[in-house]
């Protein structure tokens, strides 16, 4: 009889003790596809939230029958929303799982309403759930755009913005309103205000609460976002905020906000981490297209396993994917690590153009089209609404150098170095 180990036959015990095989590391392409899908799912969730918030006028977490029909009338227009269209709309509402009766009141929870919208979009567009970014784009063009314009057009005009921006703010308000009371209390808004870099949150809350009733309404929240009062705890709060100057030393926790600030100014970004690897880890979990320059250097100059021309072609493909993919843009992440990679020598008009590293005033949609980075048919998508989608494309370069080493080793090797928004992460801010 075979010997046993803790009640298991010897062979079984050996099998149990055998270490599990390591999972195969994902390739850069697989990681890029995974990140693209995640970003698409986030875009789809966001547009569904924004549409749902349009219908849920009282912010109670559900869409009542009357709210739904009023929203549909706004979307179609009063003349188009006749008895036949109204009947079809009501049947959709009912078939989507609405609870209650027309007499006593019918409603769909916001979650069920969004799920029903998603299924309808999948069916009507024939896109399917496997392509969330395309589905989000379809929903925006075929449902959200007209709805946002009808519901938020007047507010948008008053605030000198676009209706979809107001929709984003309304959806943000709904997410912050945890108890679905229709207003924001201090504890619901406290963390959000702190995330904006506001030091004295309570005084700011009191400034937002214009009618001084202890809560913030959706109208007060919209006013705050588009007409932000100065933070009373910030230097120079009484005057207009000055444009940031670079290079700029930032904490690791504020890096994302500082990157967004630079991006909003049309600047590409160089992040210096002073030997820390956490910045690179952070970028790995963001939706971007990575170009690993250390790998390029290794395969071209050290291993000599891949010629420079092939890498230049690959870099162009990555740039094209970042600049225009399924109607959307995303950042190009140029990962230098601890190398002084010569981007100036690597760039070429047939591969990665040097002007990609310049500001948006230089690297325009038209220039990208002329250099065959963006297809001609993508030009319209990227230029509508004041280049709204094009603003999502930018270059972020990361290096483990500090400011002194960057000036010494990178200044002549990164195109348009002096135009970059240089963010130096304070190493002491990384635990």
Domain range for residue 144? 31-154
Contact yes or no for 169/221 (Cβ under 8 A): yes
Q: Of the candidates 154, 183, 211, which is a domain's last residue?
A: 154
Fill in the DSSP letter of residue 270: E
> Would residue 165 count as lying in a domain?
no
Angle between helices 163-176 and 218-226 (to 10 degrees): 120
Are residue 179 and residue 138 in the same domain, yes or no? no
> Would residue 364 count as lying in a domain?
yes
> Would residue 44 count as lying in a domain?
yes
Query: How far from 157 is each of 50, 250, 296, 363, CA to CA, in Å?
Result: 18, 35, 49, 29
> Would residue 10 count as lying in a domain?
no
Are residue 53 and residue 123 in the same domain, yes or no? yes
Q: Of the candidates 122, 154, 186, which is a domain's last residue?
A: 154
Are residue 297 and residue 202 in the same domain, yes or no? no
Largest pairwise CA distance in the chain? 89
The pLDDT of residue 175: 87
> Would residue 243 count as lying in a domain?
no
The pLDDT of residue 239: 41
Are residue 216 and residue 328 in the same domain, yes or no? no
Distance of alpha carbon 243 from alpha carbon 265, whole angstroms:
9
> Whose structure tokens read 């195969």?
24
What are the structure tokens assigned to 333, written together?
Answer: 């992440």
The pLDDT of residue 120: 94
Task: Single out the residue of 308, 298, 310, 311 nearest to residue 338, CA to CA.
Answer: 298
Task: Single out the residue of 306, 304, 272 nearest to residue 402, CA to CA.
Answer: 272
> Would residue 25 count as lying in a domain?
no
The CATH number of residue 69's host domain is 1.10.238
The CATH number of residue 417's host domain is 3.40.50
The CATH number of residue 218's host domain is 1.10.238.10
What are the structure tokens assigned to 79, written together?
Answer: 């003349």
Weakly modelled stretches of the chain, pLDDT under 70? 1-33, 35-36, 228-243, 385-386, 431
Four-residue CA torsion sign, 9, 11, 17, 21: negative
pTM of this prediction?
Answer: 0.50
Distance of alpha carbon 37 from alpha carbon 99, whole angstroms:
33
> Would residue 236 count as lying in a domain?
no
> Would residue 162 count as lying in a domain?
no
pLDDT digits (tens, 9 = 90+) for 150-206: 998 888 888 888 888 888 888 888 889 888 888 999 999 988 888 777 778 898 999
Are residue 416 and residue 277 in the same domain, yes or no? yes
Number of domains within the chain: 3
Task: Single out the residue of 25, 55, 162 nearest to residue 116, CA to CA.
Answer: 55
* DSSP letters spanning 279-314: HHHHHHTSS-EEEEHHHHHIIIIIS--S-HHHHHHH
Are residue 424 and residue 328 in the same domain, yes or no? yes
pLDDT digits (tens, 9 = 90+) for 397-426: 999 999 999 999 999 999 999 999 999 999
Q: Of the candidates 128, 154, 180, which is a domain's last residue?
A: 154
What are the structure tokens assigned to 292, written together?
Answer: 């690993």
């Amino acid at each position: 009889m075979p010997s046993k180990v803790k009640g298991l036959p010897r062979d079984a015990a050996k099998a149990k003790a055998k270490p599990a095989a390591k999972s195969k590391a994902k390739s850069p392409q697989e990681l890029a596809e995974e990140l693209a899908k995640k970003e698409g799912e986030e875009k789809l969730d966001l547009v569904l939230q924004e549409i749902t918030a349009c219908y849920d006028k009282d912010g109670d977490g559900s869409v009542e029958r009357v709210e739904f029909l009023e929203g549909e009338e706004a979307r179609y227009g009063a003349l188009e929303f006749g008895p036949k269209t109204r009947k079809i709309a009501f049947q959709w509402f009912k078939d989507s799982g609405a609870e209650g009766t027309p007499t006593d009141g019918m409603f769909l929870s916001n979650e069920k309403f969004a799920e029903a919208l998603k299924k309808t979009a999948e069916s009507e567009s024939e896109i399917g759930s496997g392509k969330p970014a395309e589905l989000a784009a379809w929903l925006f063009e075929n449902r959200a755009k007209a709805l946002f314009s009808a519901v938020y057009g007047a507010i948008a005009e008053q605030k000198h913005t676009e209706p979809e921006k107001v929709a984003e703010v309304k959806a943000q308000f709904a997410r912050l309103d945890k108890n679905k009371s229709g207003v924001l209390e201090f504890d619901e808004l406290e963390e959000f205000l702190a995330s904006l870099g506001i030091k004295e949150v309570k005084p700011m809350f009191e400034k937002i609460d214009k009618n001084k009733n202890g809560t913030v309404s959706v109208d007060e929240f919209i006013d705050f976002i588009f007409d932000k009062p100065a933070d009373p705890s910030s230097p120079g709060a009484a005057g207009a905020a000055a444009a940031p100057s670079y290079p700029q030393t930032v904490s690791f926790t504020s890096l994302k906000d500082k990157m967004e600030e630079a991006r909003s100014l049309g600047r590409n970004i160089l992040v210096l981490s002073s030997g820390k690897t956490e910045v690179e880890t952070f970028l790995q979990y963001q939706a971007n297209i990575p170009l690993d320059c250390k790998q390029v250097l290794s395969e071209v100059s050290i291993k000599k396993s891949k010629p420079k021309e092939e890498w230049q072609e690959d870099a162009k493909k990555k740039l094209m994917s970042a600049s225009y993919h399924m109607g959307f843009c995303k950042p190009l992440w140029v990962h230098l690590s601890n190398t002084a990679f010569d981007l100036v020598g690597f760039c070429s008009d047939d591969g990665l153009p040097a002007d990609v590293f310049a500001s948006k005033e230089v690297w325009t949609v038209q220039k990208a089209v002329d250099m065959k980075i963006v297809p001609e048919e993508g030009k319209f998508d990227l230029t509508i609404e004041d280049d709204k989608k094009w603003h999502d494309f930018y270059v972020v370069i990361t290096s483990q150098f500090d400011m002194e080493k960057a000036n010494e080793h990178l200044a002549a090797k990164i195109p348009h170095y002096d135009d970059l928004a240089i963010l130096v992460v304070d190493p002491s801010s990384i635990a």
